[in-house]
Chains A and B, each alone.
Chain A
Amino acid sequence: MRLPSLLLAVVLAAPAVAAGAPQQTQAGGQAAPDTTASAPPPAAPSPAPAEPAERPYPNFGIALALGAPDGAVLSFVYSPFYWMAADVGFAYTLAPGFVIGLEFQPIDFVVFPVIRGEYGYYFAGNTATYIKNWTNVPEAAQPLIGDASYNWWSGLVGIGIGSRRGFSFKLEGGITWLSLNVKGGTGTVNNIVVTTEPYRFQAFAPTARLVFQYYF
């Protein structure tokens, strides 16, 4: 929100501008008595106090995000314009991964809206092990669950509180399209030899993120 600061600057600058303006003559066009003979020469008008130069928006920052399906993400943020930022982050939940995001902050105010799109990918890591444990897959069927990785696309909107020139906190929510890709395997279940090709779980789901961000 640059308009309020612009208005404020105009209001503050107005008296100074007025002080520098020439004296208006009195009514009737009569000249004021000439007092220059006895009076000391008028002092040169003092220059108007310079408006403090607006500090430029920082271009770089870091962010820590916690959310689903993001997990925990530590990101490097680059913002070429105050209203747009791109981020790339290292993520970790069940396995290491990364998240790439593009975020728009259309207004600069202490409370501001946010629009975000992101893509994330988690490498295989220990995801398959967690799936086996959490879903109580029988031991005989566990070889059918190979390495598992997942990725997602998300669109989010949210609100933020803080400064574009320093620390801010954001809460974002939206929708995500998530794919869990599982490699198949071969196992013997109840005397049946089972071989599975890679299979996939997909979800269209809500998503949420809590972000702490600092521009420097």
Chain B
Amino acid sequence: MKTTVTILLAALLALPLSACDSFYVEANQPLACLTLQPQSFNIPVVAVPGGFQGEWTGSTTVSIGDVLPGFILDGPPQDRRVQLVSFGLSLTSGATNLDWLQSLQVSATGSGAPVSVVSYDGGLPPGSRSLNLPATNPGANLADLVSNGNLTFTYTGSAAVPAGSTIPTTWTGAVNLCIQAHVRKTFNQLINP
């Protein structure tokens, strides 16, 4: 009896003390969508046979630290992930549709090397005013790129406007980003951040 009680007491005490690295908390955000304020883009077009062509660039900095809990972004690099699920662009003014959009590349930039996350090479139904694209690199961990709570997306696109159509030299669009996030921290990491 005494031995049994001793073993039980030892187990009760030893388990929590020895297992701080085994005990953990994890958070899963399967989907969070961020709709950014409409942004203006300029397309310097040049005349080509049959119409006009142009390339445009732009960038948006998202204060992702205000949207995701700090413990996700501050988590240990190997145990925290923020991944882009999809990218959306909605035309708000400056053009009647996105028929002129030939291609679009989106990269995430920040504290590390830019990572390509979205690629579009045409194919929208005529008359579309928005496009929604799945991430082309869904495994990219955007948490590695967050700097001071900010994550920057850069856009590079090309436009082709047939002769006789309105040239969207300045247009505005709203960007929608859908992300998922996961973090895991052991009790030791929570106690001694």
* A contact set with B: CB distance below 8 Å: 1, 107, 109, 111, 113, 135, 138, 140-141, 157-159, 171, 173-175, 184, 189-206
Contacts and interface: CB of A to CB of B under 8 A. Distances in A.
| Majority SS at the chain B contact face | mixed
Interface string B1-38: 10011001101100110010011111111111111110
B48 interface: no
A75 to B, nearest CB: 21
A113 B28 contact: no
A175 B15 contact: yes
A175 B12 CA distance: 10
Contact of B67 (A135, A159, A171, A189): A189
Contacts of A202: 25-28
B63 interface: yes
Contacts of B66: 138, 140-141, 189-190, 192
A192 B26 contact: no
Contacts of A200: 27-28
B7 to A, nearest CB: 9
A187 B41 CA distance: 26
25 contacts: A109-B1, A140-B66, A141-B67, A157-B11, A159-B5, A171-B12, A194-B32, A194-B35, A194-B67, A195-B35, A196-B31, A197-B30, A197-B31, A199-B28, A201-B28, A202-B26, A203-B24, A203-B26, A204-B22, A204-B24, A205-B23, A205-B25, A206-B15, A206-B19, A206-B23
A192 B35 contact: yes
Contacts of A171: 12
A205 B62 CA distance: 35
Interface in B170-193: 187
B67 A158 contact: no
Contacts of A138: 66
Contacts of B32: 184, 194-197
Interface residues of B, number: 32
Contacts, number: 93
Interface in B88-126: none
Given A1-B1, A203-B24, A192 B12 contact: no
A102 B37 CA distance: 55
B30 A195 contact: no
B85 to A, nearest CB: 11
A107 B16 CA distance: 26
A197 B29 CA distance: 7
Nearest to B31: A197
A190 B66 CA distance: 8
A111 B62 CA distance: 61
Given A189-B67, A192-B67, A157 B8 contact: yes
Contacts of B22: 204
A140 B35 CA distance: 15
A32 B18 CA distance: 77
Nearest to A195: B33
Given A111-B1, A113-B4, A138-B66, A194 B34 contact: yes
A199 B27 contact: yes
A107 to B, nearest CB: 8
A109 B4 CA distance: 12
B180 to A, nearest CB: 9
Given A192-B62, A202-B28, A173 B67 contact: no
A205 B26 CA distance: 11
Contacts of B24: 203-204
Contacts of A193: 34-35
Contacts of A189: 63, 66-67
